[in-house]
Amino acid sequence: MSELKIDKVSPRSGNYVALNTVGSKNIIINGDMSQSQRSTSVSSITGSGYNTVDRFRTNMSTAGTWTQSQSTDVPTGQGFATSFKMDCTTANGSLSAGSFLIIDQRVEGQNLQYLKKGTSSAESTTMSFWVKSAKTGTYIVALQDMDNTRYIAKSYTISSANTWEKKTLTYAGDTSGAFGNDNDGSLKVQFWLVAGSTYTSGTLATSWESTTNANSAVGQVNLADNTSNDWYITGVQLEAGTTASDFEFLPYDVNLARCQRYYQLIAQGASSPINTGFAYSSSQVSAYITLITSMRATPTLDMVSGTDYYRFTANATNTNFNVLSLDIGNTRAVTVFKGSLSGLTGGQAGFINAINASSYIALASEL
Cα gap 21→233, rounded to integer Å: 29
pLDDT per residue over 24-51, tens digit each?
A: 899 999 999 999 999 999 999 999 999 9
Q: With a cut of 80, say whether residue 19 has pLDDT above it.
A: no
Query: Residue 36's beta-bridge partner residues?
Result: none
pLDDT per residue over 76-85, tens digit each?
A: 999 999 999 9
Query: For the CA atoms of 54, 55, 61, 67, what is the dihedral angle to 10 degrees?
Result: -20
* pLDDT given for residue 7 in this prediction: 36
Burial 268-294 (b: 16+ CB within 10 A, else e): beeebebbebbbbeeebbbbebebeee
Cα gap 330→159, rounded to integer Å: 48
Question: Cβ distance 220 to 140 under 8 Å?
Answer: yes
* pLDDT given for residue 85 in this prediction: 99
pTM flag (> 0.75): yes
Q: With a cut of 70, say whether residue 160 has pLDDT above it.
A: yes
Cα gap 53→75, rounded to integer Å: 18
Cα gap 295→283, rounded to integer Å: 31
* pLDDT given for residue 18 in this prediction: 32
Q: With a cut of 80, say whether residue 23 has pLDDT above it.
A: no
CA atoms within 13 A on the CB side of 335: 9
Burial 113-135 (b: 16+ CB within 10 A, else e): eebbbbeeebbebbbbbbbbbbb
Q: With a cut of 80, say whether residue 22 has pLDDT above it.
A: no
* pLDDT given for residue 150 in this prediction: 98
Query: Residue 85's beta-bridge partner residues?
Result: 69, 232
